Structure 1
Amino acid sequence: MSSAVYACKEDIQIDTPSIASYQTVEVAYMGDSIPVDITVDGAYPLNTIKTTFFRNDERIAEGIIPANKAGIYHSKLLVPFIKDIADGPAEIQIMVKNKNFNYTTIMVPIQITRPKFPYLTLKTAYGDYKMEPVPGEPYKYAVTEAFPNTKLNALIEAPPYGKNGNSFLFGGATISAYATNKDSIPFQIVRAPGSTFTVSFDTRSFEAAPFLKPSFGGIEFPNFANNIAVIEAEFKQNQLIGLDGIVDIANWWINPSFLSNNGDGTYKFRAIDGKYRITADQALKYFKIEPMAGDALANFDPVRKTGGVWVNGGIGDSDGSAPKERFGIPSMAANPSLWNPQKNVAMAPLGNGVYQIKLIAGQNLFLSNVSGSTVGISFYQNSRSFDNYFALNLVQNLYGSPGQPTSAGGTTRFELKTSIGNVSKDAPIISTVSNRTLGANRTYVFTLDTKVSPAAVTITLE
């Protein structure tokens, strides 16, 4: 790398620091830590020296050099490693500021080049694997092995390159440079254990392989549009459900009403055999699961006691000062229902006319910890309207905190009420009681038995 020393002549006002000279490299590689030496003159005490890296007028990185008086200062500035940026010119801004906040700046031109590493290292729990350059593709690297597992959480390590280079990691569900050792890339392929497959990575585009297409229970989603993808398919009760190809699945909310966690990354489908619509929402990060009848969402069949039962909610019998977002899936904050029938939530049909929904206090359901504010939910027979509701009989309540099944546990936590302002459209509501907290992160199970009239509601804690 070449370097240069520059002397600076500037029109300096009184009380303004001066950059007498600076020295840095003229050419650098992405990923370098380039040395910057600055000589500062000035009669007043200094505050800071800041170095900022710009590319196409966009601030990419910056560093602070502690400074308190005139003199020579040494620092290093990281040249960031960013995808899809071509080799070319960039600028370093050097700013010197004194205690009176007067300052001087200069712009230093620099040429940036993407390195072509001799190799990369795939780092896994099973060991390290050397990734070699792919002929004819200058930034692509690959390794082919009989890896011990077809699910391969890995990091990719780049070696130091050139005089000022650093070793660093590529990683994360959405791959970036400078990852930590916890930001693994979730490579995955469908193969027999012990089969040979190839892992590849491109240091310019950050494209990597292999990844599975997003799927639910082995059924692939079509391409996402506006963060939404939908499948409609038959599922069986107790069917094993794998959630594959969602790289950030650890951040998704998994509906406990329909899916029981097996503890090994798979789930059990709790609802009865039938056709269901599964909507994968990348923005809200959850799967909306809804029963179907033919090509439409299922309404309740009052004769056969089958089909869909739908829940909505929001403010209960008392408004008060708490936020109005009091019920919603996957969270009341991100997607509140607000008594809007277009946001009805499906209960899981368990069979024999019994339906269930599991709600987590503080996530899906208001804690009811604010005096004068309650949350209420109602049960409906239509998927997207309040036209037909269920008359209710609250046969099992909870008392005290944590909730006990008998009144010996303390004061009641839920009541059968009428919604304030008739927001439930005449439907009776199961309402919390003002200022009697449900306890953060407790899972409340609401079970509806439609074989009896009025429908029987049982509330338990999981």
Structure 2
Amino acid sequence: MKRLILNLLLGTAAITALYSCKKDEKYVYQVGDPQIELKSNVSSAHFGDSLAFQVHVSDSEIALSTVKVQLFFTDDQVAETVIRTKENGDYSGKIFVPFYKNIPDGKATIKFILQNISQKTTEQAHEIDLSRPDFPYLNLVTASKSYKMEKIGPNKYAATENFPSSIKGYIQAPKVGALGNEMNFGWVNNVINVGSTTEIPFSNLTSGIYSIQFNTLTYEASPFINIYVNGTLSTRIDDDHFNAELDMTKDATVTVDGIENLKDWWIDPDYFTRKSDGSLSFNGISGKYRITTDLKLKYFVMEAMNGSDLATLNADGTGAVWIIGEGIGKPSVATNQVGWNTDKALCMMPIGNKKYQITVKAGESINADNINFKFFHQKGWGGEFGGTSISTNSDLIFIGDGTNGRDGGNLGIVSGKMLTTGSTYILTVDLSQGNSKAILTVTKL
């Protein structure tokens, strides 16, 4: 009896396994007769349209699963819509036609792929004529108001108004045609792209009447301030700051393009000499520097670099020395005091032989009667020149030791004395005897 039961169980298992294999075999090898019929006209559309379609689907043998609608630009699939098709019948939907830049009018391919539950498919492909919509106008949308941008040429639009020098907004295109969509163009990773309402930072060197322009084919826009230093395009940091990182050569001419009235700018006497013809030459030792253009304060922030990082003081006395503290600032203390904000730390100009200098004018870039700053190994907290690591013989400026009115290493004006207002002084830090034996000299010009 036990053997009979065992045989019955084995037989049942074998039948179950055989049935399962047959089901799998039927599924794997695909059966049925899926049929699809396009019932709408999809022969043409605009870029940016939501293209409507209707299809009739059926399978006389097995249940349906899905219909996929795919759009191709050449061989690249750029859009897809998937519709569940549980029953035979008519189904409708839409597929978005992407609005990419630099794609001219042309042809695309739309594919309809019907699949039943056994994964058998049937496919139809149709060619579509695509064209860029002819927007009658655009809108520049700012936080306070919208400006109408009139069409001035194929794909080109402009708004001419009395604008401030900096104005932020995104561009909105109206719906064109029955299948069209309203589209927005905004700022994405420092370029203009479709689908964003992040404000575009338009900027002009001066406020007044000027035109803001946009090309819906190329996504080119203007105006943007482009500042070149020795032919290197500066990167925009914000509305007022642009920086470039480049190798500089001692005594070489420095070219700056994109700034009007450079003669009105404050030129850092440590790093530059303004020649009689208005051109600039570089004073520092040859090397890599970060040059930050400050449009608001109209001067260039100079910082020494080591590779892709700001320079720090090396153990052998080379590299960079930085100033952080009160009573000093470029172009002036009144407009831009460093204070204890490490982001504003001043990079002393490296002059070679492990020496660093800063040139200041009393009553302007340094207070004549009260200072409280010190020298650091980096642009930020960390290594610094304390009271035992730096000394001076100056009778005007003293170095704090923690008991004489200044913390260790902080500089102060000697009691009863002042710097002469309007006079220029050069502060030099000499590390030729070692970083722990720095010598500060103060020279009045």
- Candidates 54, 58, 69, aligned match of 2:72: 54
Q: Secondary structure at the match of 2:175?
A: coil
CA contact (8 A) 1:230 1:278 kept: no
Partner of 1:198: 211
Q: By how many angstroms is 1:275 displaced?
A: 5.6
Partner Cα distance (1:68, 1:236) in 2 = 79
The CA distance in 2 between the partners of 1:114 and 1:53, in whole Å, is 16
Correspondence 1:17 to 2:34: yes
Equivalent residue number for residue 107 of structure 1: 125
The secondary structure found in structure 2 opposite 1:96 is strand
- Matches of 1:67 and 1:115 in 2, distance apart? 33
Aligned to 1:175, the other structure's residue is in SS state strand
Cα drift, residue 91 of structure 1? 0.6
Conserved in 2, the CA contact under 8 Å of 1:235 and 1:276? no
1:378-389 aligned within 5 A:
none
Q: Deviations over 1:80-111 (max 9, x none)?
A: 11111111111101112223322222111110
**CA shift at 1:267, angstroms?**
10
> Unmatched 5+ residue regions in structure 1?
1-12, 238-257, 282-286, 292-297, 311-348, 360-376, 380-392, 394-448, 457-462
TM-score (norm 1): 0.49
* Separation of aligned partners in 2, 1:274 and 1:198: 31
**Structure with more of its chain in helix, by fraction:** 2
Question: Could you say which residue in structure 2 is the equivalent of 1:222?
Answer: 232
User: Which residue identity does 2:38 align to in structure 1?
Assistant: S
- Report the Cα distance in structure 2 between the residues aligned to 1:154 and 1:212, rounded to whole angstroms: 16
Deviation per residue, 1:238-281 (Å, 9 max, x gap): xxxxxxxxxxxxxxxxxxxx999x9xx98999xxx9964569x9
Greater C-alpha radius of gyration: 2
Aligned to 2:169: 154
Question: How far did 1:49 drift?
Answer: 1.8
Post-superposition offset of 1:454: 7.8
Q: Choose which of 140, 144, 148 in structure 1 pairs with 2:160.
A: 144
Specify which of 330, 351, 354 is matched with residue 376 of structure 2. 354
What is the Cα deviation at residue 37 of structure 1?
Answer: 0.4
Equivalent residue of 2:168, what SS?
strand
Secondary structure in structure 2 of the residue aligned to 1:196: strand
Structure 2 residue runs without a partner (length 5+): 1-29, 236-243, 249-253, 255-266, 271-289, 323-357, 359-371, 384-388, 390-429, 438-445
Amino acid at match of 1:44: I
Deviation per residue, 1:320-370 (Å, 9 max, x gap): xxxxxxxxxxxxxxxxxxxxxxxxxxxxx99865323549xxxxxxxxxxx
| 2:310 counterpart (289, 298, 302) | 289
Q: Is the 8 A contact 2:58 2:64 kept in 1?
A: no
Give 1:222's aligned amino acid.
T
Q: 1:186 aligns with which of 201, 220, 229?
A: 201
Cα deviation for residue 143 of structure 1 reads 0.6
Structure-2 separation of matches of 1:156 and 1:274: 34
Work out the CA distance in 2 between the residues paired with 1:174 and 1:127: 23
Q: Which residue number corresponds to residue 193 of structure 2?
A: 176
Aligned partners of 2:35 and 2:297: how far apart in 1? 66
Matches of residues 310-389 of structure 1 in structure 2 within 5 Å? 353-358=375-380
* Letter matched to residue 122 of structure 1: L
Q: Deviations over 1:179-234 (max 9, x none)?
A: 2x3x2222111114xx112100011111100111157xxx6861489xx8526488
Query: How many residues of Structure 1 are paired with residues of Structure 2 in the alignment?
Result: 272
Corresponding residue of 2:109: 91
Shift of 1:453: 7.3
Query: Does the CA-based 8 Å contact 1:300-1:308 persist in structure 2?
Result: no
Structure 1 letter corresponding to 2:172: E
Between the aligned partners of 1:178 and 1:229, the Cα distance in structure 2 is: 32
Shift in Å at residue 25 of structure 1?
A: 2.5
Identity, in percent, stands at 30
Deviations 1:382-434 (A, max 9, x none): xxxxxxxxxxx9xxxxxxxxxxxxxxxxxxxxxxxxxxxxxxxxxxxxxxxxx
1:32 partnered with 2:44? no
Q: Give the root-mean-square deviation of aligned CA atoms.
A: 4.6
